[in-house]
Amino acid sequence: MRKVFQIAFVIITVLALSLLVFATSEYLLPSGSLRSLAAFYLSAAPDPLHPYTSATPAVVGAILWDYRGIDTFYETVVLYLALAAGVVSISPLRPREVPGRRAGLSPMVKAAIRVVAPVVVAAGLAMGLHGSENPGGGFHGGATIAIAPLAVVAAFSTTFLLGRKVSMQILLFLMSLGLTGIGVTALSTFVAGLLAGANSYVLQNLPKPNAPMGFPGKTGWMGVDSLLLFDVFELLTVACGFTLAFMELMLQSDKGGETR
Amino acid sequence: MSYEPLNAYLLQVFLVSLFVNVALTLYGVFFKPHYTKKVISLTMLSDTLNVFAVFIGYRKWTSSAHPRPPILTEEPSGEAVSRFVATAVDPLPQALVLTAIVIGLAVTLFLTLLGRELYRHYGTLDMREVGRSAKHA
Q: What is the number of other CB atoms lying within 10 angstroms of the CB of residue A3? A: 8
| Residues paired with residue B88 on neighbouring β-strands, in sequence order | B68
| Residues paired with residue A94 on neighbouring β-strands, in sequence order | A258
Give me the amino acid identity at B44.
M
pLDDT at A257: 44
Query: What is the rounded CA–CA span in Å between residue A236 and residue A242?
Result: 10
pLDDT tens digits, one per residue of B58-104: 888 776 778 899 999 888 888 999 999 999 999 999 999 999 999 99
Substitution target in A26, A42, A71 with the highest count of B β-carbons within 10 Å is A42
Can you tell me whether residue A208 is helix, strand or coil? Answer: strand
- Collect all residues of chain A within an 8 Å Cβ-Cβ radius of residue B21: none
Contact by Cβ (8 Å): B28, B38? yes
Cβ-based neighbours of B56, under 8 Å, separated by 6 or more = A27, A28, A30, B90, B93
pLDDT tens digits, one per residue of A128-140: 988 878 888 899 9
Asked if B109 is an interface residue toward chain A (Cβ–Cβ < 8 A), one would say yes
pLDDT at A218: 64
- Collect all residues of chain B within an 8 Å Cβ-Cβ radius of residue A75: 99, 102-103
Backbone φ and ψ for A221, nearest 5 degrees, come out as -80, -15
The whole model's pTM is what? 0.85
Which of B:47-76 have CB within 8 Å of A? 55-62, 65, 69-73, 76
Which of A:63-92 have CB within 8 Å of B? 63-64, 68, 71-72, 75-76, 78-79, 81-83, 85-86, 89-90
With a cut of 60, say whether residue A73 has pLDDT above it. yes
The closest CB to that of A6, out of B31, B62, B106, belongs to B31
pLDDT at A98: 55
Burial (CB < 10 A; 0-12, 13-18, 19+), residue A235, is: buried
| Residues paired with residue A258 on neighbouring β-strands, in sequence order | A94
pLDDT at B7: 80
Can you say how many angstroms the Cα of residue A165 is from the centroid of all Cα atoms in its chain? 25
Query: What is the rounded CA–CA span in Å between residue A26 and residue A21?
Result: 9
**ipTM (interface predicted TM):** 0.86
Give me the amino acid identity at B82.
S
CB contact under 8 A, B85 and A68: no
Asked if B11 is an interface residue toward chain A (Cβ–Cβ < 8 A), one would say yes
- Collect all residues of chain A within an 8 Å Cβ-Cβ radius of residue B15: 18, 21
Q: What angle do CA A237, A238, A241 make, to 5 degrees?
A: 80
Buried b / exposed e over A173-210, threshold 16 CB at 10 Å, is: ebbeebbebbeebbebbbeebeeeeeebbebbbbbbee
Q: Nearest Cα to A55, choosing from A132, A141, A137?
A: A132
CB contact under 8 A, B85 and A43: yes
CB contact under 8 A, A57 and B11: no
Q: Domain residue spans in chain B?
A: 4-136
Q: Domain residue spans in chain A?
A: 57-259
With a cut of 90, say whether residue B37 has pLDDT above it. yes
With a cut of 80, say whether residue A20 has pLDDT above it. yes
Contact by Cβ (8 Å): A67, A84? no
C-alpha distance from A10 to closest chain B C-alpha (Å): 5
Q: Nearest Cα to B24, choosing from B35, B36, B37?
A: B37
CB contact under 8 A, A82 and B22: no
With a cut of 80, say whether residue A220 has pLDDT above it. no
Asked if B134 is an interface residue toward chain A (Cβ–Cβ < 8 A), one would say no
pLDDT tens digits, one per residue of B95-137: 999 999 999 999 998 898 889 889 989 999 999 999 998 888 7
pLDDT at A48: 86
Buried b / exposed e over B82-99, threshold 16 CB at 10 Å, is: eebbbbbbbbbbbbbbbb
With a cut of 50, say whether residue B21 has pLDDT above it. yes
With a cut of 60, say whether residue A87 has pLDDT above it. yes
pLDDT tens digits, one per residue of A110-167: 999 999 999 999 999 999 988 878 888 899 999 999 999 999 988 888 778 877 778 8
The closest CB to that of A41, out of B11, B58, B92, belongs to B92
CB contact under 8 A, B90 and A35: yes
Burial (CB < 10 A; 0-12, 13-18, 19+), residue B60, is: middle
Backbone φ and ψ for A86, nearest 5 degrees, come out as -65, -40
Can you tell me whether residue B126 is helix, strand or coil? Answer: strand
